[in-house]
């Protein structure tokens, strides 16, 4: 056995799909099933990208069979560069046992955006490689798809159309040491049970060397070149070689503006602070990456936005990636945010946008914006104290906002500003919008909402402290009077404050036609002596729009909100929820103000009135619910509520009046009957 000259100590294998293993059903006994609210399920497949710390060299069988470098899944890192955990978690990425995998272990990626990352080591031989994965999938309403990304930029995608391992080829790619290879799961589907769950398995990540890179030509000026700013290898323009100083005092606006489209090269900001007095605008970039390493772009004290709206502004781009930069604005809180708009990062009229790893601070208007663009991914950024909105999209399609952290101002009374601060994450217009895995803290207004966006999904987000509404989906004037197909699932929303007078709800649907609210955990913070109205969940009608309809609310856990759930949508199904509350704060568990509502298999513990049927609410069916500690009534149906059915419910301790009102169909209830 001889050592590979560029990978001493690393394993290299001849090209093989099976790797000497016969595909067998994987073993997953070490992984405890997780509850649905964490969006982590018992799954029948695994997805992993593989890393290597010691790859041994084996000679290729023939000259026509190139050497394959094999990187193994269980030694990879996650999207945040942390070691992969061995237990299920909210991020949906963890190591599991798999007897069919090369080393008996693999990596589960269970949700959209779940990522496994490999940084190519310093000993890696640069050159042209065919990138492959040995993978398998589980189909549910279609097969799983994974994307290959290089330094955050999408390279290719593969659909895994086999339950047994098979080789999937992505593309031929130029690779060099230090680059980041990522495999990302992008089309998750799940409907509540293990046999209705789409996932994927990657046993190995294989790199076939096709041609080694030519060594660089050394010139007589090598000494001066060694003293120049360090630039990543490859087709990259270093902004310091283009004239930018990055010393924190020189105005770098003109030098950065001269870069233009960089002749098609990637644009790199080396460490430093780049002071700008006007927006830096890049127009027409195509398949280019703008990145930094310890680089900060700072707006000067006299910064003026003008026609370009962001400290960094990108227009008319295709395949743009912006990553790993810090952007610091210069807000003027004596102006309203849109009196003089100045965003941190602004992108418009673009397609295939990927914004990752930014730290945006103190934007006067919006931290990160994408307007009039398609196929936008905004992930793993931190935005703090943007005056109007942390992350915003406008009139854009196929938007993914993933694993960002947005931090607001909290109680606005402490900020001397012309208008109160605004939102955490906001999307308006367009179609298909996903917010997943984000954390929003201390948002003075509504934590996050969409207006006029069909096919909106909120999944796995955490909202902690907000001043108006938590998650809101609604129409937008001028963009229709209703929205359709909304999903809010597996979020944690807690600690609402009455910082804005007209706030109402932790989750709010306005004129939504078809939707689901499932698996959320809602926690109120009762402040003794302070009373204000709030609902955990409210489904109602937006001004001038049709009533919401065809809504399913299931599997939510609600703790101690003033009102639990308020339904103003005909035909709503409310099932399998738990509503708890403590007097005198918690007044009601469920208020039904519409017709044809089904209330089944819920637990109501503690609100003064568990279920209140509002005036003229008809055809309500209550079955197999459990009630306890309701000091006034379990079910109050004495508001002219025709055709009410109450069947098979159980009334436990401290429910002095199980059922109030005359009900025609009332049978098989335990612990109390009808009048």
- pLDDT tens sequence across 331-362: 988 888 888 899 999 999 999 999 999 999 99
pLDDT above 50 for 236: yes
Please give the pLDDT value at position 220: 43
Please give the pLDDT value at position 80: 66
Is there a domain that residue 316 lies in? no
Is there a domain that residue 182 lies in? yes
Phi and psi at 254, nearest 5°, equal -65, -40
Domain limits for position 169: 12-212
Cα 323 from chain centroid (whole Å): 17
User: Predicted confidence band at 408 (pLDDT cuts at 50, 70, 90)?
Assistant: very high
Q: Could you check whether the bond before residue 294 is cis, i.e. omega within 30 degrees of 0?
A: no
pLDDT above 70 for 11: no
Question: What are the CA-CA distances from residue 554 to residues 47, 195, 433, 572 (Å)?
Answer: 29, 19, 22, 11
Distance CA 294, CA 513 (A): 47
pLDDT above 90 for 10: no
pLDDT: is 9 or 283 the higher one? Answer: 283
Please give the pLDDT value at position 470: 96
pLDDT above 80 for 37: no
In eight-state DSSP terms, residue 9 is T
State the burial class of residue 111 (Cβ atoms within 10 Å of its Cβ: 0-12, 13-18, 19+).
Answer: buried
Please give the pLDDT value at position 91: 74
User: Predicted confidence band at 574 (pLDDT cuts at 50, 70, 90)?
Assistant: very high
User: Predicted confidence band at 23 (pLDDT cuts at 50, 70, 90)?
Assistant: very low
At 305, list the tokens: 């936005």
Q: Compute the radius of gyration of the chain from its Cα atoms.
A: 28
The owner of tokens 């009630």 is 627
pLDDT tens digits, one per residue of 257-275 = 999 999 999 999 999 999 9
Please give the pLDDT value at position 81: 67
489 sits in the region (left: phi over 0; alpha: psi -120 to 50; else beta) called beta
Please give the pLDDT value at position 14: 35
Contact criterion met (CB below 8 Å) for 305 and 340: yes
Distance CA 468, CA 445 (A): 5
Contact criterion met (CB below 8 Å) for 572 and 551: yes
Give the CATH number of the domain where residue 74 resides: 2.60.120.260
Return the closest-CA partner of residue 72 out of 55, 56, 97.
55
Is there a domain that residue 198 lies in? yes
At 72, list the tokens: 């193994």
Contact criterion met (CB below 8 Å) for 11 and 56: yes
Alpha helices by DSSP H, listed for 356-454, are none
Arithmetic mean of pLDDT, 284-297: 95
Strands (E), 21-165: 68-72, 77-78, 93-97, 105-109, 115-119, 127-138, 145-150, 153-159
Arithmetic mean of pLDDT, 80-97: 79
Q: How many domains does the chain divide into?
A: 1
pTM for this model (two decimals): 0.69
Arithmetic mean of pLDDT, 201-228: 65
Q: What is the mean pLDDT of the chain?
A: 85
User: Going by DSSP bridges, is the β-strand pair 180-185/145-150 parallel, antiparallel, or unpaired?
Assistant: antiparallel
Distance CA 217, CA 215 (A): 6
Return the closest-CA partner of residue 460 out of 138, 40, 86.
40
User: Going by DSSP bridges, is the β-strand pair 189-190/197-212 parallel, antiparallel, or unpaired?
Assistant: antiparallel
Phi and psi at 508, nearest 5°, equal -135, 125
Is there a domain that residue 479 lies in? no
Share of the chain above pLDDT 70, in %: 86
In eight-state DSSP terms, residue 216 is P
Is there a domain that residue 101 lies in? yes
Contact criterion met (CB below 8 Å) for 47 and 146: yes
Return the closest-CA partner of residue 184 out of 431, 380, 393.
380
pLDDT above 50 for 223: no
Arithmetic mean of pLDDT, 420-438: 96
State the burial class of residue 656 (Cβ atoms within 10 Å of its Cβ: 0-12, 13-18, 19+).
Answer: exposed
State the burial class of residue 373 (Cβ atoms within 10 Å of its Cβ: 0-12, 13-18, 19+).
Answer: buried
Is there a domain that residue 310 lies in? no
At 212, list the tokens: 């080694």
pLDDT above 50 for 17: no
Please give the pLDDT value at position 47: 36
Any bridge partners for residue 310, and if so which?
343
3-class SS letters over 267-297 = EEECCEEEEECCCEEEECCECCEEEECCEEE
Question: What are the CA-CA distances from residue 604 to residues 117, 218, 585, 594, 617 (Å)?
Answer: 45, 77, 15, 20, 20
The CB density around residue 53, as the number of other CB atoms within 10 Å, is: 11
The DSSP string of 299-363 is E-TT---TTS-EEEEEES-BS-EEES-EEE----TTS-TTTT--EEEEEES-EEEEEES-EEE--
pLDDT above 70 for 321: yes
Is there a domain that residue 61 lies in? yes
Alpha helices by DSSP H, listed for 528-598, are none
The CB density around residue 501, as the number of other CB atoms within 10 Å, is: 8
Please give the pLDDT value at position 199: 85
Helix (H) or strand (E) holding 575, with range, is strand 573-575
Is there a domain that residue 250 lies in? no
pLDDT above 50 for 24: no
pLDDT above 90 for 109: no
Please give the pLDDT value at position 530: 65
């Amino acid at each position: 056995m001889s050592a590979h000259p560029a990978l001493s100590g690393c394993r290299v294998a001849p090209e093989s799909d099976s790797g000497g293993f016969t595909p067998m059903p994987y073993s997953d006994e070490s992984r405890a099933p997780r509850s649905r609210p964490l969006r982590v399920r018992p799954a029948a497949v695994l997805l992993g990208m593989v890393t290597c710390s010691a790859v041994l060299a084996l000679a290729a069988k023939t000259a026509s069979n190139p050497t394959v470098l094999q990187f193994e899944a269980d030694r990879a890192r996650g999207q945040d560069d942390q070691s992969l955990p061995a237990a299920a978690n909210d991020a949906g990425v963890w190591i599991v046992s798999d007897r069919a995998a090369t080393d008996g272990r693999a990596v589960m990626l269970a949700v959209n955006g779940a990522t496994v990352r490999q940084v190519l080591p310093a000993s890696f031989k640069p050159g042209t490689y065919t990138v492959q994965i040995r993978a398998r999938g589980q189909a549910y309403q279609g097969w799983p798809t994974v994307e290959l990304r290089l330094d955050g930029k999408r390279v290719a995608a593969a659909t895994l159309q086999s339950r047994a391992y098979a080789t999937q080829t992505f593309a031929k790619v130029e690779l060099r040491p230090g680059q980041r290879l990522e495999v990302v799961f992008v089309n998750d589907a799940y409907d509540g049970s293990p046999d209705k769950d789409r996932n994927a398995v990657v046993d190995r990540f294989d790199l076939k060397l096709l041609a080694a890179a030519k060594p660089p030509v050394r010139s007589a000026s090598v000494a001066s070149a060694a003293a120049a700013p360090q630039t990543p290898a490859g087709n990259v323009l270093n902004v310091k070689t283009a004239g930018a100083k990055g010393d924190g005092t020189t105005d770098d606006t003109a030098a950065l503006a001269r870069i233009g489209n960089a002749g098609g090269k990637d644009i790199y900001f080396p460490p430093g602070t780049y002071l700008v007095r006007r927006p830096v605008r890049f127009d027409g970039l195509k398949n280019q990456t703008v990145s930094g390493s310890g680089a900060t772009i700072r707006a000067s004290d006299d910064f003026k936005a003008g026609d370009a709206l962001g400290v960094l502004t990108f227009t008319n781009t295709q395949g743009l990636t912006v990553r790993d930069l810090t952007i610091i604005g210069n807000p003027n809180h004596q102006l309203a945010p849109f009196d003089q708009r100045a965003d941190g990062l602004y992108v418009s009229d673009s397609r295939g946008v990927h914004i990752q790893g930014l730290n945006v601070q103190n934007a006067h208007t919006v931290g990160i914006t994408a307007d009039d663009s398609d196929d936008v991914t905004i992930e793993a950024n931190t935005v703090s104290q943007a005056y109007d909105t942390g992350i915003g999209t406008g009139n854009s399609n196929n938007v993914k906002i993933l694993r960002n952290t947005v931090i607001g101002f909290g109680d606005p009374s402490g900020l001397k500003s012309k208008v109160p601060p605004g939102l955490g994450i906001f999307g308006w217009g367009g179609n298909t919008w996903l917010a997943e895995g984000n954390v929003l803290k201390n948002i003075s207004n509504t934590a996050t909402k969409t207006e006029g966006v069909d096919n909106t999904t909120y999944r796995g987000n955490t909202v902690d402290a907000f001043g108006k509404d938590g998650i809101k989906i609604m129409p937008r004037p001028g963009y229709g009077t209703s929205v359709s197909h909304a999903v809010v699932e597996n979020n944690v929303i807690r600690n609402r404050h009455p910082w804005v007078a007209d706030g109402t709800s932790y989750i709010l649907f306005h004129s939504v036609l078809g939707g689901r609210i499932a698996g959320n955990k809602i926690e109120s913070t009762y402040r003794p002596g302070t009373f204000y109205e709030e609902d955990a969940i409210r489904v109602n009608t937006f001004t001038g729009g049709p009533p919401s309809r065809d809504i399913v609310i299931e599997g939510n856990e609600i703790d101690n909100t003033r009102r639990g759930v308020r339904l103003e949508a005909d035909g709503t199904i409310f099932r399998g929820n738990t509503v708890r509350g403590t007097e005198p704060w918690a007044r009601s568990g469920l208020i039904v103000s519409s017709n044809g509502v089904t209330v089944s298999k819920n637990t109501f513990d503690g609100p003064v009135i568990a279920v209140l049927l509002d005036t003229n609410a008809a055809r309500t069916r209550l079955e197999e619910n459990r009630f306890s500690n309701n000091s006034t009534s379990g079910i109050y149906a004495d508001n002219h509520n025709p055709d009410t059915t109450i069947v098979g419910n159980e009334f436990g301790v401290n429910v002095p009046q199980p059922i109030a009102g005359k009900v025609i169909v009332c049978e098989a209830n335990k612990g109390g009957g009808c009048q």
